[in-house]
């Protein structure tokens, strides 16, 4: 039974590391998308959102080329990042980015300019305003983004299979393991993991719904 | 120049064009007054650095905006009270006040006024509200917190953008005494945007009159209200003057308060004011009638003797605006053209100005002297 825990832990590790990177990258990116006056920011937004519509195999294919021994990743360590945990992290960040950026951007846009103006007149500089006004006000959106990013990384399959393959302990994550068990007719193990994923998905969706039901509407009109 | 705000802004926001230049004293309350759409709020936002237009701005001898430089909002030592309070919704009242207090030292040049935290809480009556969230405050309470928050940032000038316009009459009446006390107690100059002449007459010492994006006149509040030519810009029926009066006694039997105004006795409904105190009375033009002889057998209690100083009539109007000089102080009276002709009123003619006592209410009496 030990071998069914290995992919579970690997998936959780991958999702945790990925989510951490996603928040660090996604929050400033969402801030820029929400506030920049530049016209071409929507082109950037479209690129960020592309994993939503692209088949995972297409994304995986290009990532494989990029991370492979002949792609740009070879300059990092000489042999690229394909079929490694680090490669999976990079792929997952790109694949799950829209799920994190979109809710955070919405949250930043929802509270508008006014609290930031108040903060500016009270002496808060741009960084101070982002850190002490924007982030706290966007908290529900950030939590939603984190939960969605985490869950989406746990559930990904196509991209992982393309760039990570099926190396136990390194790239054999949950979804790949289920596929493997089904292929080798180990129904009981497949059932355990698949059933667990169903329960997990329910909890995640419920959590997001509850997060968004929190009264965001505050300080309304007199 | 030191001791004043020197501003000139020019630019367009959509269809609206602003092209205005004015100076305001760094003492007392200066009202930026004008009809809606005259550019008052835009001017205030330009001074705070929240809106950027072409122009220049110097405050107390320091350039905040010039052709070459623009000091960003967070480096300008201003306090800004927004029309809708604009408190941080996720913070308690204490949190909102602390946000300001914590950052108050950052943009000081050593010349910002010292503002004591507890004194501010006291002055604005905030103590019972400290643990509440903004959403749980009434409109008037929120605005008081907003004023406190702006003060605690230790500004060199306090900018207030129609702080009372979102409030109902009761809430206004509740907050006005706080504002009066504040502007009397603190040595911080205030720029006060409003389109309510009653509010301005009660709080302001100076007035800059704006219309269609231009500053068209400025002066002390008393002088500005006496100018007949500016009438059309003030709400009709709200034209008024300010008179300084001293409380001489109370009459508990008839519930009246007696005053001396321009050397002549005046009676108003009982007001909670100490004998000897000097107050500012706002007397509206529509509440003043004129007579050529001292009337007898009349219910009007206030009969002030003087002479006509100025007469003006807008073309097409049925009434004339007159300015009556009473021992140097001035009252405005609005009378019909017919009355003007029948009484043969001309400049210099002696008249008696009649003012009904009951036209004075809490809103027209301010516990500060006319500027």
Residues A28-69: tens digit of each pLDDT: 999 999 999 899 999 999 999 999 999 999 999 999 999 988
- For B310, phi then psi, to 5°, come to -160, 145
pLDDT digits (tens, 9 = 90+) for B143-186: 999 999 999 999 999 999 999 988 888 888 888 888 888 887 88
What's the average model confidence in pLDDT over B188-198? 90
Q: Is the pLDDT of residue A118 over 90?
A: yes
What is the pLDDT, as a whole number, of residue B231? 65
Q: Is the pLDDT of residue A221 over 70?
A: no
pLDDT category at B1 given cuts 50, 70, 90 is low
Q: Shortest CA distance to A49 belongs to which of A100, A15, A88, A109?
A: A100
What's the average model confidence in pLDDT over A192-207? 91
Cβ of B50 within 8 Å of Cβ of A118? The answer is no
- A124 closest CB neighbour out of B86, B103, B150: B103
Burial of A72 (0-12, 13-18, 19+ CB in 10 A): exposed
pLDDT digits (tens, 9 = 90+) for A84-100: 999 999 999 999 999 99
Q: Is the pLDDT of residue B47 over 70?
A: yes
Residue spans of the domains in chain A: they are 2-213
Q: Is the pLDDT of residue B191 over 90?
A: yes
Residue B253, helix vs strand vs coil = coil
CB A134 within 8 A of CB A31: yes
Cβ of B99 within 8 Å of Cβ of A122? The answer is yes
CB pairs under 8 A between A and B: 90
What is the pLDDT, as a whole number, of residue A214? 60
Level-2 CATH architecture, domain A2-213: Orthogonal Bundle (1.10)
* Chain A partners within 8 Å of B107 (Cβ): 123
Spell out the residues 6+ positions from residue A10 whose beta carbon is closer than 8 angstroms to its own: A85, A169, A170, A171, A172, A173, A174
CB B171 within 8 A of CB B139: yes
- Asked if B153 reaches chain A (Cβ–Cβ under 8 Å), the answer is yes
- Asked if B163 reaches chain A (Cβ–Cβ under 8 Å), the answer is no
Cβ of A121 within 8 Å of Cβ of B73? The answer is yes
- Per the rule left: phi > 0, alpha: psi between -120 and 50, beta: everything else, B74 is alpha
Minimal C-alpha gap between B329 and chain A (Å): 41
What's the average model confidence in pLDDT over B33-54? 92
Chain A interface, best mutation among B89, B108, B163, by max A CB count within 10 A = B89
Chain B interface, best mutation among A113, A120, A123, A124, by max B CB count within 10 A = A123
Mean confidence (pLDDT) of chain B: 88
Cβ of A118 within 8 Å of Cβ of B107? The answer is no
What CATH fold (topology level) applies to the domain B4-232? Rossmann fold (3.40.50)
What is the pLDDT, as a whole number, of residue A216? 47
What is the pLDDT, as a whole number, of residue A219? 39
- A122 closest CB neighbour out of B50, B100, B138: B100
What chain B residue is nearest to A121 in terms of C-alpha separation? B74
Long-range contacts of A171-177 (CB under 8 A, 24+ apart): A171/A10, A171/A83, A171/A84, A171/A85, A171/A87, A171/A88, A172/A6, A172/A7, A172/A10, A173/A7, A173/A10, A173/A11, A173/A14, A173/A88, A174/A7, A174/A8, A174/A10, A174/A11, A175/A11, A176/A7, A177/A4, A177/A7
**Domain B240-366 has what CATH class?**
mainly beta
Residue spans of the domains in chain B: they are 4-232, 240-366
């Amino acid at each position: 039974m030990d071998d069914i825990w290995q992919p579970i832990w690997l998936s959780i590790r991958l999702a945790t590391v990925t989510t951490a990177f996603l928040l660090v990258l996604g929050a400033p990116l969402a801030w820029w998308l929400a506030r920049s006056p530049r016209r071409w920011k929507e082109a950037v937004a479209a690129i960020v959102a592309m994993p939503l519509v692209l088949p995972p195999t297409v994304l995986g294919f290009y990532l494989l080329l990029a991370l492979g021994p002949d792609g740009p990743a070879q300059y990092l360590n000489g042999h690229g990042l394909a079929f490694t945990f680090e490669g999976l992290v990079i792929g997952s960040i790109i694949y799950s980015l829209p799920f994190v950026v979109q809710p955070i951007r919405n949250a930043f846009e929802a509270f508008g300019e006014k609290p930031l103006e108040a903060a500016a007149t009270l002496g808060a500089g741009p960084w101070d305003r982002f850190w002490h006004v924007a982030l706290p006000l966007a908290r529900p959106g950030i939590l939603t983004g984190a939960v969605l990013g985490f869950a989406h990384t746990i559930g990904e399959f196509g991209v992982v299979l393309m760039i990570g393959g099926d190396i136990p302990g390194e790239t054999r994550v949950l979804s790949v393991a289920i596929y493997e068990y089904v292929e080798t007719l180990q129904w009981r193990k497949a059932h355990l993991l698949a059933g667990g994923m169903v329960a997990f998905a329910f909890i995640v969706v419920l959590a997001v719904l509850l997060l968004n039901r929190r009264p965001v509407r505050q300080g309304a009109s007199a | 120049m030191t001791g004043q705000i020197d501003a000139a802004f020019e630019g367009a926001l959509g269809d609206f064009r602003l092209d205005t230049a004015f100076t305001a004293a760094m003492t007392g309350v200066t009202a930026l007054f004008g009809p809606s759409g005259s550019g008052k709020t835009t001017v205030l936002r330009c001074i705070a650095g929240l809106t950027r237009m072409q122009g220049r701005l110097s405050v107390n001898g320091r350039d905040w905006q010039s052709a070459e430089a623009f000091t960003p909002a967070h480096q300008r030592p201003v306090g800004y009270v927004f029309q809708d309070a604009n408190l941080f919704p996720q913070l308690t009242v204490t949190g909102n006040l602390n946000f300001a207090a914590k950052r108050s030292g950052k943009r000081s040049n050593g010349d910002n006024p010292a503002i004591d935290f507890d004194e501010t809480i006291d002055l604005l009556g905030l103590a019972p509200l400290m643990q509440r969230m903004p959403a749980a405050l009434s409109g008037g309470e929120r605005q008081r917190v907003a004023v406190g928050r702006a003060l605690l940032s230790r500004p060199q000038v306090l900018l207030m953008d129609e702080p009372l316009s979102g409030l109902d009459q009761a809430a206004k009446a509740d907050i006005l005494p706080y504002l009066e006390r504040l502007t009397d107690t603190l040595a911080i100059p205030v720029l006060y945007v409003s389109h309510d002449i009653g509010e301005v007459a009660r709080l302001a010492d100076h007035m800059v009159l704006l219309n269609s994006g231009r500053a068209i006149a400025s002066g002390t509040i008393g002088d500005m209200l006496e100018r007949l030519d500016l009438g059309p810009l003030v709400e009709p029926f709200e034209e008024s003057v300010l008179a300084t009066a001293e409380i001489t006694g109370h009459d508990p039997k008839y519930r009246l308060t007696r005053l001396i105004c321009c050397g002549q006795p005046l009676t108003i409904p009982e007001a909670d004011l100490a004998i000897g105190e000097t107050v500012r009375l706002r007397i509206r033009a529509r509440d003043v009638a004129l007579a050529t002889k001292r009337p007898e057998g009349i219910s009007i209690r206030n009969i002030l003797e003087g002479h006509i100083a100025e007469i003006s009539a807008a073309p097409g109007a049925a009434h004339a605006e007159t300015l009556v000089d009473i021992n140097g102080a001035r009252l405005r009276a609005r009378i019909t053209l017919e009355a003007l002709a029948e009484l043969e009123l001309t400049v210099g003619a002696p008249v008696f100005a009649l003012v009904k006592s009951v036209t004075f209410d809490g809103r027209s009496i301010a516990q500060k002297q006319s500027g």
